[in-house]
Amino acid sequence: MGYAVLKRGQSTTEIAFVFAGIVLLFAAILQIWFWGNKQIVLRQQSYNAGRVTAGTSSDTYTLQWPVYKPDELTENMVLRGD
């Protein structure tokens, strides 16, 4: 085998590795995006649920903090989508 054939094979392998890395990076970015969107929804739901109670004038109302605690973004959620 000549040097040109080996060089072309090496560049094909490198392109395949780079493409796989880009796909994995894009998948991780998407998982972080979905996690962030879910957090916005959960935060808004707990905020809306607490508005009626916070607006009452009764003396029985007690503050319950924290109203919202965000989920942690773990490495498994990003890499595997768990």
Read off the pLDDT of residues 68-82 as tens digits, 9 standing for 90 and up.
677 777 777 777 766
- 78 contacts: CB under 8 Å, gap ≥ 6: 28, 31, 32, 35
| For the chain, counts of helices (H) and of strands (E) | 2, 0
The more confident residue out of 10 and 70 is 10
The whole-number pLDDT of residue 82 equals 64
- Alpha carbon of residue 45 to chain centroid: 19
What pLDDT does 39 receive?
86
Write out pLDDT tens, residues 34-49: 988 888 888 888 777 7
pLDDT at 10 over 70: yes
Cα radius of gyration (the chain): 25
Q: Evaluate the omega torsion of the peptide bond into residue 70 and state whether it is cis, within 30 degrees of 0.
A: no
